[in-house]
Structures are given as structure tokens and as C-alpha cells.
Structure 1
Amino acid sequence: MDSTASRVAIVTGASGGIGRAVAERLAADGVAVVVHYAGNKSRAGEVVDTITASGGQATAISGDVADEGEMAALFEQTGRLYGGVDVVVNTAGIMLLSPLADLDLADFDRMHRTNVRGTFVVSQLAARTLRPGGALVNFSTSVTRLQQPGYAAYAATKGAVEAMTLILARELRGKDVTVNAVAPGPTATPLFLEGKSEQLVGQIAALNPMERLGSPEDIAEAVSFLAGPARWINGQVLFANGGAA
């Protein structure tokens, strides 16, 4: 496949929610997008169809973000299809909530494997692969500032993501590659809204001075900025939460 796009992006966890919005926004920016998915092939296919129907370029590729072999294969396949990689966005992650004292350690291990090891594996490959002028965007969370009860284990995994992101930015001195993280606040994805009453959603929305939840498109806009024009922003965590923290 010959790409007519000048830039190429890999978006992990791109089959739904924020990941889908990011993939579609980057495609609208003229970037050829690899839509990574873990298990939902049909949803990934829908994202590809949406992008291509709008005149963009996209391919769906599956893999376990925490498996270095599968991710290396994904990067290699991307190179074969499009000639290289310019942008990597790590939206893949899981969130299992519980008070720290009650958390099943198996749930902690699951989150750590995807959120920490997965981000590390993909960041390592990005550091080795991204072309000059490239960008790596990892995902943290505004909960690292909000300190909400029940989020201790999840926030701990995202604190690790922030640490590796900020250090990697400095390790890539001289490579002309930026490394940043986006830390969304409450965002109106189906996963976030599931099981929440209208009253509770309203209370959460009122936490920020904009008095609404974020949308996946709000977060995608921040990623688009960091992935493209924001060449002088490096080694930072961008809190995209309407001013909640």
C-alpha cells in the first residue's frame, strides 16, 4: 500500500471512546492512521470505514499492548504499509475502581500490565522508531490531581505513565521527537456514563468551571495539537479537564 499522507500515526486502543476520536481527528488532519485494537475487530473496522469514507487512510491492526512481540510486529507492519511512523498515541488502558483496602490484587495486576507495561512497551518501540519531527503522546488522568477515593490503583498506574513520559522526553535529546502526556478529566464516553445516574453525571460535570463533561473530541483536539504543531511543548503533562484541577 502506497501512502499519500505525509505523516503516519499509530493509535493504540483506537476502536472506541477517546481512542476512536483521536484516530478520526488525526485522519482529518491528513495523517494515515493505524487503528490498533485488542479484541473488537468489528469496532476497529467501523473506525477504518469512517476514516476512509471521509477520504482518509486507515488500517486496523490487532495486538496486545503489553506483548513486546505483538507490538513489534505492529510497528513493522506499519512501516511496510506506510513507510514509517511519525506519531504514536497510547490511549489503550483499563480502569478498575475500588477503595485501596478492598482492591483485588488481580485487578491491580491487570491494570498494571495494560496501563504501565503496555505504555512502556509501546513507548520503547516509539523511541526506537519515530522519525525526526515525530511525537509520542501517552495518556495519564486528571485523577492524579483530583485524588478521588476509589481511584488509588488506577491513579498509581497513571502516575507511572507520567514518570516514564517525562524521563523519556529527556532521553530523546537530539532526536527531534516530542514526548508528552494528556491527562483527561471526566469524559462522556459510553464506558464512563455506564451505570451512572443523571444526577451523578451532573454532579461530576459541575466539578469544573465549564460545567460540563469533556467529550472525546475535546481530548482528541489536545492530542492533535501535541502530535502536530506543538513542537515546542515537550516533556509535559497536559491536563484536559475544563479547569477541574
Structure 2
Amino acid sequence: MALFETAYQRDVIVPVVFVPVRGSCNLADGMGSQKPQLGDDGTGQHPTGGLPDERLVASALAGNRDAFSILIERHYDRIYNLAYGWLGDRAAAEDAAQDVVVKLATAIAKFEGRAKFTTWLHRLVLNHLHDKARAKKRRRIDPGVVFEDLQIASEDVSADRQYEAKQGMAAVNALPTKLRAAVMLVHWQGLTHDAAGEVLGCKGGTVSWRLNEAKKLLAAQLRSEAGEGSDHD
């Protein structure tokens, strides 16, 4: 059963699955490879590229291959960034993002427009990450900074600051799933508490409570690990 309520339909398939190479605007790193261009007129612009997501979904389900490709081109970085923030590993995030794109080709038929497409997409990605969570334990990483570092993991900062950001991400990854999801949506993806609540199927106040609980757990965890480290000095 999915952690966050989203239905998949497997008997309706969008005509083509477009899997782009990760673009240069990723939050996760600054390496960014070149995205494929969708334009066919030498301008890099597609005639349907300016349509809102909901119109593109309808067009894709009607058989327009380009519409689905534009949706993926538009939101691939969003998918990858959430996967990277959840998994903390670039290669695993790439694999997860590719899997989500494939899943989206069938799941898109269940998008009913009752929430924004991006809200529905966040939910789809979180469900996939939860379903595919690896059973093996992660390698332990020393404690570091927490919430604010989720927002600077990809910025052009010193190597030490990047390392601290990764430490904070590792601490978040150890949180209970619902608390972790709230942290990732608000502090990594930049959603408001109300918008995150739409993704998670709860009220904004519940998201606020989960963030507060996460903060307390993280503080306790980091204090504990810092104390363990001092015992070995």
C-alpha cells in the first residue's frame, strides 16, 4: 500500500516515455548535463511548451507524444531533486527518477486535476521512494547541521560546508518516514506547510507539528552522536 494516497492505472499507457538527461538547474549538484531540446523550429521552443501542466496531461492522454515529453522535460529536475534529497546518492537518485518517469507513463491516466499536477507528482515520487526503500542500513555519517543545510547542498560553497550539508541530510534520512517527508518537502523542495500538506494528505498544521517533532528528534540524535564522538577523543 502506498504511504501517500495516489492511485496507479496500468492499462492506459501514454504513447511514448521520454527520459531526459538531468539538466543544469539541479539542486543536488552543479555538474548538470545538457538536456535534450524539444524544439523543431531551430529556436529550442516547442509550440505546446507554454501550456499549463493540466492541459499537457490532457493532450498526452489524447495521444500527443510531445505533450508528455514536455511534461517530463519541465519536471524532471523536480523528480530528481526529491529523489536525491531522500536517498542522498546521485546514482540512486538517477535510477529512481528514471523509474518514476516510466511509472508516470501509466500513472498519469489517474490524474484527475483535483490538486495541482506538481502536488500529485510529489506524491507519486514519494510513494515510489517509499516502496523501493532499500532494506540494508545506511553507512553511518557523523552529526552535523540540519534544516538549513538541506537548502545549501547544491550551492557554490566550500567543501567543508558541502560536507556539513551532507551530514544534515544523513540525519534527516534516519527520521521516521512521515517526519522525513515533511522535512524534505518544506526544507528541500521549498513547499509551504499547506502545500506540503496537500501532498501528504494532511493539514498544514499537521505538517508544522511533524516538522517540530523532526527538529526535536534531530537535535537529540545529533547531541547523542556528538557525545559519543567526544568519548573517543
TM-score, normalised on structure 2?
0.30
TM-score, normalised on structure 1?
0.29
Higher percent of residues as helix: 2
In our comparison, the structure showing a higher alpha carbon Rg is: 2
